[in-house]
Amino acid sequence: MKKNLFVALSFITILIQAQESPNIILMIGDGMGLTQISTGMYANNNQTALEDFSYVGLSKTYAFDKLVTDSAASGTAMASGVKTLNGVIGIDSKNVPQKSILEICAEQDYKTALIVTSSIVHATPASFYAKVHSRRQYEDIALQLSEHYVDLFVGGGKKHFIAREDKRNLLNEMDEYTFVNSIREFGRSNANKLGYITYDDEPPALLKGRKPALDELTKIGLEKMKAKGKPFFMMIEGSQIDWGAHANEMEYVISEFKEFDKTIQAVLEFAKADGNTLVIVTADHETGGLSLLGGNISDGKMEGKFNTEGHSASMVPVFSYGPSSELFSGIYENTAIFDKMLKAVESN
């Protein structure tokens, strides 16, 4: 009798666990096309954390009216599931504001986080909380973040909150938040809502001394999200892979990819230990039209050619791991990334 009861209770426990909403971690390597991945992998002893992912798909990145997208339109597509005009954030082609997956998750009692190596008001992170007609409306984007309910955020751009045309100090107005000034403070804080604005303007390149490292910030962020005891949505962006490609600087691209790869590894280890975390790694677009023409794996020296200082229209890969990861195989529109994340949330 006791044995039967134990079996029944074990089955119920398994059933309850299976119905728990999954954590979702969306990782975006800005400008990270397949060639950037290949280049970074070969320069990294022929290894990348992406090799451990269960499924691989391809995303069509074009904007509503342009074959070559920018980060605002592509960020909005992934965040909210709609094609829009280049430069527009969170608003569709018919001028209708759209809810993002972060906002939908928050409505379903998820905790939320954004961690980026750009300013926190840059196009990609802004796509998850802001609704503006121009990605250059940095002060408006900062104001919308100050009025939002993102639980944890890390990125640069402090000046857009405190050195404003309207003379407001938004950081002082954000009463619910604790703001920290170092990674030590970030790690020690037990605040319910936490902000870490790393630089006054855009953070510098890793090669020029950017700190703290994205993987260290992410590890701390994951610990804090898990400690809240609720499912969470987190978007992590390796923002400056794109900037290196815009500059047509191979070492810039490789160094930023390597840091992002360490971050992917940290996230993957978390997901494997947790057992109920969906991880998606992709790009908003390819930048630079990079071709890998030669190199040497033994010394990590790569030879390539950039065909543009802008973006290209190439499809970009999508890697997935964890519950519902099978949804991300195949070829699909970048808007489908939103649809698939939403399905993962609603199916539990």
CA neighbor of 52 nearest in space, from 226, 261, 306: 261
Give the DSSP H/E element, type plus range, for residue 49. none
Give the Cα separation of 261 and 270 in Å (integer).
Answer: 14
What are the percentages of helix, strand and coil residues in the chain, rounded to 5?
A: 40, 20, 40
Residue spans of beta strands (DSSP E) within 22-109: 23-29, 55-60
Beta bridge partners of 296: 301
- Amino acid sitting at position 147: E
- Verify whether residue 134 is a known catalytic residue: no
CB atoms within 10 A of CB 52: 13
Catalytic-labelled residue, pool 71, 127, 239, 324: 71
Is the link from the previous residue into 317 a cis peptide, with omega within 30 of 0? no
Q: How far is CA 334 from CA 61, 156, 283, 341, in A?
A: 6, 26, 10, 12
Give the Cα separation of 14 and 12 in Å (integer).
Answer: 5
With the CA atoms of 51, 57, 62 and 68 taken in that order, what torsion angle do they form, in degrees rounded to the nearest 10? Answer: 30
Q: What's the angle, vertex CA 73, arms to CA 71 and CA 75, rounded to 5?
A: 60
CA neighbor of 30 nearest in space, from 169, 235, 178: 235
Q: Which residues are catalytic?
A: 71
